[in-house]
Amino acid sequence: MGKMEDYIKEVSQWNKELRDFLESEDVDKNNELWHRLDNFTDIMEGIAGPLDIQELEKIQEQVDGLHSDMENYFTNRQRVGNIYMNEPYIAAGKHVLPPLPYDYKALEPHISGEIMKLHHDKHHQSYVDGLNKAENMLQIARDKGDYNLVKHWSRELAFHGSGHYLHTIFWNNMNPKGGGKPSGALLKEINKYFGSFDRFKAHFSEAAKQVEGVGWALLVWSPRARRLEILQSERHMLLTQWDTIPLLVLDVWEHAYYLQYKNNRGDYVKNWWNVVNWKDVEDRYLKASELKWKPF
Q: Give yes or no for residue 38 having a pLDDT over 50.
A: yes
Mean pLDDT, the chain, integer: 81
d(CA 51, CA 1) in angstroms, rounded, equals 9
d(CA 288, CA 284) in angstroms, rounded, equals 6
Residue-wise pLDDT for 64-76, tens only, equals 777 767 766 665 5
d(CA 151, CA 240) in angstroms, rounded, equals 13
Task: Please tell me if the domain spanning 90-179 has the same topology as the one spanning 245-296.
Answer: no
To the nearest 10 degrees (0 to 180), the angle between helices 32-45 and 53-80 is 160
Q: What's the pLDDT band for 141 if we cut at 50, 70, 90?
A: very high
Q: Are 204 and 219 in contact (CB under 8 A)?
A: yes
The percent of residues above 70 in pLDDT, for the chain, comes to: 86
Q: Shortest CA distance to 290 belongs to which of 18, 24, 42, 17? A: 24
Residue-wise pLDDT for 243-291, tens only, equals 777 677 677 768 778 898 899 888 888 887 887 777 877 887 888 778 8
Q: Which residues of 81-112 are buried (b: 16+ CB within 10 A; e: fewer)?
A: bebbeeeeeeeeeebebbebebebeebeeeee
Q: Give yes or no for residue 60 having a pLDDT over 80.
A: no
pLDDT score at 138: 97
The percent of residues above 90 in pLDDT, for the chain, comes to: 22
Q: What is the residue extent of each domain of the chain?
A: 2-80, 90-179, 182-244, 245-296
Q: Which CATH class is domain 90-179?
A: mainly alpha
Q: What's the pLDDT band for 123 if we cut at 50, 70, 90?
A: very high
Q: What's the pLDDT band for 79 if we cut at 50, 70, 90?
A: very low
Q: Give yes or no for residue 4 having a pLDDT over 80.
A: no
pLDDT score at 80: 46
Q: Give yes or no for residue 203 having a pLDDT over 70.
A: yes
d(CA 130, CA 21) in angstroms, rounded, equals 38
Architecture of the domain defined by 182-244 = 3-Layer(bab) Sandwich (3.55)
d(CA 132, CA 111) in angstroms, rounded, equals 29
- The helix (H) or strand (E) run that includes residue 249 is none
d(CA 55, CA 49) in angstroms, rounded, equals 11
Architecture of the domain defined by 245-296 = 3-Layer(bab) Sandwich (3.55)
Q: Shortest CA distance to 296 belongs to which of 14, 142, 90, 8? A: 90
pLDDT score at 87: 54
Q: How many CB atoms lie within 10 A of CB 75?
A: 11
